[in-house]
A and B are shown apart, each in its own frame.
Chain A
Amino acid sequence: MKKLTGALFIVLLYTACKFNAADTPKLPIYGNRDTASNVVNGKTVIDSVYQTIPAFKFINQYGDSITNKSLNGYVYVADFFFTTCPSICPIMHRNMLKVYNDYKNVSDFKIISHTIDPKHDSVAVLKKYADKLGISGNSWWLLQGKKEETYQLGEKNYLVAVKEDSGTPGGYVHQGWFVLIDKQKRIRGYYDGTDEKQVDKLRADIKTLLAETNTNIAQ
């Protein structure tokens, strides 16, 4: 009898693990995490609380005000650039164009590119850049705002899990990262925007993330 109980226990444990595995999202969740105890149906449940992108307010290339709420319900990719950057930005946006062309007609996907040189990159400059890059509509926003706020958001919120490289001016905001964010505003992937292979992975991961169902339960 004791043996049987033991076997039953093992079987139960196994199915429990299996159930969890099926429920776990395919892409990792990055950022700092915390736990919170909630009372559900009279029982106390411990839940993981993941780091999310906080409130922000910027202006896009059309002069429209864009906040974190404008991205509610969207899977999106964020990066940091400036229009006169002669080093890595052309490669990044040559690669980002591929992402744009893949998903520009997908209704719950967006790209946002934050300029880190708002002094030069006015709304008019950003619009001209967008036109020349060949992007239109609202699936790729170029965002302009206060420099400190952009850096703060970049380093404290988007790139938290990126290790700082030694000696690069501008810190890791200026290292060409593409950051994948899910509909709950959690960080789901980091990709080197100058590396074609990593960008190909991003293009595949976006599809996975868009297909992820029951995201509210997973949270």
Chain B
Amino acid sequence: MKLRVIGTVMLLLSVIIASCQSEEQQEFQRYYNGGKIIYEQRCQNCHSAKGEGLSNLIPPLTDAGYLKSNKAALACIVKYGIKETIITVNGKSYEGAMPATDLAPVDIAKVLTYVTNSFGNKMGVITSEQVDKDLLKCK
């Protein structure tokens, strides 16, 4: 009987502690963790586990300035890729193609949340709704 009471109290306590993590925090974790898996499967070969890219061939994902100023275009880049355009990251220019993907908007949101909050970046969550909006404006 006593054990049962203690057990119930413990359960209640753990629920309370878990819910202390704000809803935004939980949403962020959901996106970020899912994004990590997608990154490893779809992006890491070229951009590397540390986001460092490859010499002057493949741009790094460590340039917070580039990611911030192009935040609204990131979803389009992931979805449609880049075709032989010169882009400037960290003061270096890169040319060449990045392949398009068939990721759903929610998965694009996840992988972008992972990238923009890894490798020294800290831009917060990029939601599926935001990606939907951004994709409408792709050039």
Q: Using a CB–CB distance below 8 Å, which chain A residues touch chain B?
A: 84, 86-88, 90-91, 93-94, 97, 129, 131-134
Contact = CB atoms under 8 A, between A and B. Distances in A.
A86 B56 contact: no
A132 B45 contact: no
A96 B1 CA distance: 66
B77 interface: no
B55 A133 contact: yes
A86 B97 CA distance: 9
A46 B46 CA distance: 50
27 contacts: A84-B97, A86-B45, A86-B46, A86-B99, A87-B45, A88-B45, A90-B46, A90-B48, A90-B54, A90-B57, A90-B58, A91-B45, A91-B48, A93-B54, A94-B48, A94-B54, A97-B55, A129-B57, A131-B56, A132-B55, A132-B57, A133-B54, A133-B55, A133-B56, A133-B57, A134-B55, A134-B56
Contacts of B55: 97, 132-134
A91 B44 CA distance: 9
A217 to B, nearest CB: 42
A90 B56 contact: no
A90 B60 CA distance: 13
A216 B99 CA distance: 49
Interface string B13-33: 000000000000000000000
A132 B97 CA distance: 14
Nearest to B52: A94
B77 to A, nearest CB: 15
A151 B57 CA distance: 26
A97 B55 CA distance: 9
Contacts of A84: 97
A69 B19 CA distance: 71
Nearest to B56: A132
A131 B55 CA distance: 9
A55 to B, nearest CB: 32
Nearest to A93: B54
A60 to B, nearest CB: 19
A2 B79 CA distance: 85
Nearest to A134: B55
Contacts of B56: 131-134
Interface in B32-58: 45-46, 48, 54-58
A132 B56 CA distance: 5
Nearest to A131: B56
Contacts of B46: 86, 90
A86 B48 CA distance: 12
B41 to A, nearest CB: 12
Nearest to B97: A84
A93 B55 CA distance: 10
Contacts of A134: 55-56
